[in-house]
Amino acid sequence: MIDHATAEPPVPDLRRMNHPLPGVVGVFAASTFPFAFSVAGGDTASALAAGCPVVVKAHDGHPHTSELSQKIIQSALPDPALLGLVRGIDAGRRLARHPAVAAVGFTGSIPGGKAIQALIDERPGPIPFYGELGSVNPVAVLPSARRDGLAEGFAASLTLGVGQFCTNPGLLFVPGGTGLPESVAEAVTATTGGPMLTERIRDGFLDGVARLGKLTPLAGGLAGEGAFAVPPQVFTTDLATFAADLPGIAEECFGPAALVVTYDDPAELPAVLDRLEGSLTATIHASDPEEARRVADSLLRKAGRLIWNGWPTGVAVRWAMHHGGPWPASTAAAHTSVGAAAIRRWLVPTAYQDWPAGLLPPELRDDNPLGVPRRVDGVLA
Amino acid sequence: MIDHATAEPPVPDLRRMNHPLPGVVGVFAASTFPFAFSVAGGDTASALAAGCPVVVKAHDGHPHTSELSQKIIQSALPDPALLGLVRGIDAGRRLARHPAVAAVGFTGSIPGGKAIQALIDERPGPIPFYGELGSVNPVAVLPSARRDGLAEGFAASLTLGVGQFCTNPGLLFVPGGTGLPESVAEAVTATTGGPMLTERIRDGFLDGVARLGKLTPLAGGLAGEGAFAVPPQVFTTDLATFAADLPGIAEECFGPAALVVTYDDPAELPAVLDRLEGSLTATIHASDPEEARRVADSLLRKAGRLIWNGWPTGVAVRWAMHHGGPWPASTAAAHTSVGAAAIRRWLVPTAYQDWPAGLLPPELRDDNPLGVPRRVDGVLA
């Protein structure tokens, strides 16, 4: 951004660009993504790309992977000290409160995010906390939706990675009397779960399933083999019962579990969707966009990514990706931990007023030696 | 942002744009700016421009101005309910904790900002707090600086608005043995203060002056007339004494008070500047940019706006303006409450995946009917 000085009104020359946050970025590793969101992954990569040193609090679910990841990344860095690693709950506490830490990133559970937020709230000065946490990821199937493959697609997305995606679909709204719940039951019965990543995740899943146990079981898959193996499970209820039990009934059960909510009239959906907590994603299945307009308006305020006739698991690292959403999906809904925009979390602007050309960063010099795109006197150039 | 789908690798169509935060913006009015940062002003204007309804907690220092401002702004809004007004400490508490409030803005004192932050920390889910708070605004005069008019410029900036600017210069580093401290003394002695805006601001100023009283008084102006009138006052010390008493000695004294720190060797400045807390601005006076390089590198990490051969009071509402800085200058150093970028505080992105054209916002349709600048498949268009 460059605004040249003007005489009328008298305004100085002003130029602004981003610099790395003046400090260390603390990253809390996720249990669920040993590569995509732990020592390696979007949080660390975007912070290093911004120019910040990073200290990762390793997750105790994969200590060796963490250490090997650190060594491999360090070998590609100009200075290995740019990536530190600490272990254990006490080290995590000290990291979140350390005066040199300028921001913290975490992609994991709601309780984990709340614990980190509480540590940060104790600091004498606030720092940003970019947590991408729990998400129930509602999917609304409208009457005009194509039905073939729908139940199988849902079951595949629900059970991908034994359901250990923050974007797997935990809430499916379907029109009653259409045979869709029965198709979903058939598809889920044909699935096989498998081992969850840690004992704690397995226990959390079983607690969540017990909580849903007061509802009608719709289907269950096979547990599969291995330690901490669990079977996919789906429950069902109708829209009125669901609405009466909000918000607790819609809490995320992390793993391959979902709730199928049947409705009679799609016009009743928006008022119920308006009462959901925030999610990372929301999905509509329909063939008629006009039929979906009111449901889409509701979901726009409840999720950071809206999906049409697809499934929410899987996120592409692209310019336009947004992986965030209203609380509890995220602690900072304006930001994303996936995609090119993830770097923005670790940057702060500086404005230079009447600054001499010799001290200006090259990006802000009149001759633009780096040829970067800029807004000059209000016009993109 | 538009990323069209690709077959290899298989990636869906993704489009992202900003929408207003799904909720109300709470604005806490400043005592010091009845127009620029209260009911009217940058916080309210940027939030309304983003598309968010606003509720302002009026400052009890100017209740009638607040009410009249609300009426005038409401008369220009499509719906007067877009701008609400509440009064009193209890209403402020309820505003910061209200579930419908999605973000809070405040441009005022550090204690006020800490109190609002504490209320927000009590919320079950976090929301962003954009506070622009205290700032000591260091000014480093280097040996190569032109001396004519310098002392007068400093005295005028220090006493502008009886010093009630968050950007007035409270800390002046000058080379010793140059006659500059004497010129500053002469210029400040010629000034006249005046009434501060409220009794509380006056009392805070007198407390701050008492705290500085252990240092050597350099000069004082006249108090001027009116209730709550105070005289400008300047103290002095040398760099070693200053460094030994950090951080307390560099705390902001809000009003027309400053500390002149004399140094012998400019090479000693960076290590001391590195230990300052964050400020909104930092200023260098010099005629030789190379002499200023190391001081500039230190100040870059301490302030959001760097000024060359000027004075920090006064901020221009421009594209490139940045009015923010490291804590305690700001609670969110990546953001500004002045300038075009102020709107970003109240926006959150939504990504649309494989979304039908009929439901896409016009900004994201392939034919770009509004002709807005966009990044399409990674290229600015």
Tokens of A315: 């996120």
Contacts of A351 in chain B (CB under 8 A): 304-306, 320-322
Measure A225 CA to nearest chain B CA, in Å. 31
Give residue for tokens 């979901």. Answer: A299
Q: What is the pLDDT of residue B64?
A: 93
Q: What is the pLDDT of residue B226?
A: 87
Interchain proximity B355–A121, CB inside 8 Å? no
Measure A296 CA to nearest chain B CA, in Å. 8
> What is the Cα–Cα distance from A43 to A27, expressed in whole angstroms?
7
Interchain proximity A3–B319, CB inside 8 Å? yes
Tokens of A122: 């104790």
| A144 in B contact zone (CB under 8 Å) | no
* pLDDT band, very low/low/confident/very high, at B103 (cuts 50, 70, 90): very high
Mean pLDDT score of chain B: 94
Interchain proximity B316–A11, CB inside 8 Å? yes
Task: Judge whether residue B35 has pLDDT over 90.
Answer: no
The verdict on whether omega for the bond into residue A53 sits within 30 degrees of 0, i.e. cis, is no
Contacts of A375 in chain B (CB under 8 A): 319-320
Choose among B309, B318, B373: nearest Cβ to A14. B318
> What is the Cα–Cα distance from A164 to A171, expressed in whole angstroms?
15
The verdict on whether omega for the bond into residue B247 sits within 30 degrees of 0, i.e. cis, is yes
Contacts of B306 in chain A (CB under 8 A): 350-353, 355
Task: Judge whether residue B37 has pLDDT over 90.
Answer: no
> What is the Cα–Cα distance from B345 to A338, expressed in whole angstroms?
20
> What is the Cα–Cα distance from A83 to A86, expressed in whole angstroms?
10
* Class of B2-133+332-347 in CATH: alpha beta
Calculate the alpha carbon distances from B226 to A308, B31, B62, B197, B219 in Å: 66, 18, 17, 10, 22
| B310 in A contact zone (CB under 8 Å) | yes
Task: Name the residue of chain A whose CA is nearest to B312's CA.
Answer: A353
Q: What is the pLDDT of residue A31?
A: 82
B258 and B234 in contact (C-beta within 8 Å)? yes
DSSP secondary structure code for residue A3 in this structure: E
| A198 in B contact zone (CB under 8 Å) | no
Interchain proximity B126–A327, CB inside 8 Å? yes
Tokens of A379: 């016009």
pLDDT digits (tens, 9 = 90+) for B221-250: 999 888 899 999 999 999 999 999 999 999
Query: What is the DSSP track for B275-336?
Result: TSPPEEEEEEE-S-HHHHHHHHHHHHTTEEEEEESS-S-----STT-----STTSBSSTT--
Choose among B292, B300, B341: nearest Cβ to A19. B300
Measure B280 CA to nearest chain A CA, in Å. 10
Interchain proximity B320–A351, CB inside 8 Å? yes
Calculate the alpha carbon distances from A47 to A27, A52, A74 in Å: 9, 6, 14
Choose among A328, A352, A358: nearest Cβ to B306. A352
Q: What is the pLDDT of residue B234?
A: 96
> What is the Cα–Cα distance from A345 to A330, expressed in whole angstroms?
13
> What is the Cα–Cα distance from A285 to A143, expressed in whole angstroms?
9
Q: What is the pLDDT of residue B1?
A: 96
Residue A326: which of A272, A283, A277, A284 has the closest Cα? Answer: A277
**Helix B150-159 × helix B180-189 angle, to 10°:** 40
Choose among B125, B319, B358: nearest Cβ to A289. B358
Query: What is the DSSP track for A151-167?
Result: HHHHHHHHHGGGG--TT
For an interface test with A, give the residue of B298, B353, B354, B376 to mutate (most A CBs within 10 A).
B353
Interchain proximity A306–B350, CB inside 8 Å? yes
Q: Point out which residues pair with A17 in neighbouring strands.
A: A350
CA count, 13 A, side-chain hemisphere, B17: 13
Tokens of A314: 């899987």
B81-92 exposure pattern, b = at least 16 Cβ within 10 A, e = fewer: ebbbbebeeeeb
Contacts of A19 in chain B (CB under 8 A): 300
SS3 B68: helix
* pLDDT band, very low/low/confident/very high, at B33 (cuts 50, 70, 90): confident
Catalytic annotation on B253?
no
| A129 in B contact zone (CB under 8 Å) | yes
Residues of chain B above pLDDT 90, percent? 87
| A143 in B contact zone (CB under 8 Å) | no
Q: What is the pLDDT of residue B344?
A: 97
| B214 in A contact zone (CB under 8 Å) | no
DSSP secondary structure code for residue A8 in this structure: T
Q: What is the pLDDT of residue A313?
A: 94
H or E element: which one contains A293? helix A289-300
| B264 in A contact zone (CB under 8 Å) | no
DSSP secondary structure code for residue B144 in this structure: T
Q: What is the pLDDT of residue B15?
A: 98
| B380 in A contact zone (CB under 8 Å) | yes
In B51-169, alpha helices (H):
63-76, 89-97, 110-121, 150-159
The verdict on whether omega for the bond into residue A328 sits within 30 degrees of 0, i.e. cis, is yes
Percent helix, strand and coil across chain A, each to the nearest 5: 35, 25, 40
A297 and A245 in contact (C-beta within 8 Å)? no
Task: Name the residue of chain A whose CA is nearest to B328's CA.
Answer: A125
Measure B321 CA to nearest chain A CA, in Å. 6
| B337 in A contact zone (CB under 8 Å) | no
Task: Judge whether residue B314 has pLDDT over 90.
Answer: no
DSSP secondary structure code for residue B37 in this structure: B
Query: CATH for A138-308, among 3.40.109.10, 1.10.4030.10, 3.40.50.10490, 3.40.309.10?
Result: 3.40.309.10
B85 and B29 in contact (C-beta within 8 Å)? no
* pLDDT band, very low/low/confident/very high, at B182 (cuts 50, 70, 90): very high
pLDDT digits (tens, 9 = 90+) for B256-265: 999 999 999 9
DSSP secondary structure code for residue B12 in this structure: -
> What is the Cα–Cα distance from A24 to A346, expressed in whole angstroms?
10
Q: What is the pLDDT of residue B36?
A: 82
Interchain proximity A322–B347, CB inside 8 Å? no
> What is the Cα–Cα distance from B259 to A147, expressed in whole angstroms?
75
Tokens of A132: 């991408």
Q: What is the pLDDT of residue B303?
A: 97
Measure B158 CA to nearest chain A CA, in Å. 19
pLDDT digits (tens, 9 = 90+) for B49-61: 999 999 999 998 8
Q: Which of B8, B122, B166, B253 is catalytic?
A: B166
Measure A270 CA to nearest chain B CA, in Å. 15
Q: What is the pLDDT of residue B277?
A: 95
Taken in order B168, B171, B176, B177, the sign of the CA dihedral is positive
DSSP secondary structure code for residue B80 in this structure: G
Provide the chain B residues 8-67 that lie in CB contact (below 8 A) with chain A.
11-12, 14-16, 19, 21-22
| B321 in A contact zone (CB under 8 Å) | yes
Interchain proximity B128–A334, CB inside 8 Å? yes
Contacts of B350 in chain A (CB under 8 A): 300, 303-306, 322
Q: What is the pLDDT of residue B340?
A: 94
H or E element: which one contains A71? helix A63-76
For an interface test with A, give the residue of B122, B318, B343, B363 to mutate (most A CBs within 10 A).
B318
Length of chain B, in residues: 381
Catalytic annotation on B132?
yes
| Per-domain residue ranges of chain B | 2-133+332-347, 138-308
A13-30 exposure pattern, b = at least 16 Cβ within 10 A, e = fewer: bbbbbbebbebbbbbbbb
A63-91 exposure pattern, b = at least 16 Cβ within 10 A, e = fewer: eebbeebbeebeeeeeeeebbbbebeeee
| B227 in A contact zone (CB under 8 Å) | no
Task: Name the residue of chain B whose CA is nearest to A126's CA.
Answer: B331
- pLDDT tens, per residue, chain A with 381 residues: 999 999 988 999 999 999 999 999 999 998 888 888 889 999 999 999 999 999 999 998 889 999 999 999 999 999 999 999 999 999 999 999 999 999 999 988 899 999 999 999 899 889 999 999 989 999 999 999 999 999 999 999 999 989 898 899 999 999 999 999 999 999 999 999 999 988 989 999 999 999 998 899 999 999 988 889 999 999 999 999 999 999 999 999 999 999 999 999 999 999 999 999 999 999 999 999 999 999 999 999 999 999 999 999 988 999 999 999 999 999 999 999 999 999 999 999 999 999 999 999 999 999 999 999 999 999 988
B302 and B326 in contact (C-beta within 8 Å)? yes
CA torsion angle B268 B272 B278 B284 (round to 10): -20
Q: What is the pLDDT of residue B70?
A: 96
Measure A298 CA to nearest chain B CA, in Å. 11
SS3 A49: helix
**Number of neighbours of residue A149 by Cβ within 10 angstroms:** 11
Interchain proximity B320–A22, CB inside 8 Å? no
Strands (E), A264-361: 279-285, 303-308, 347-353
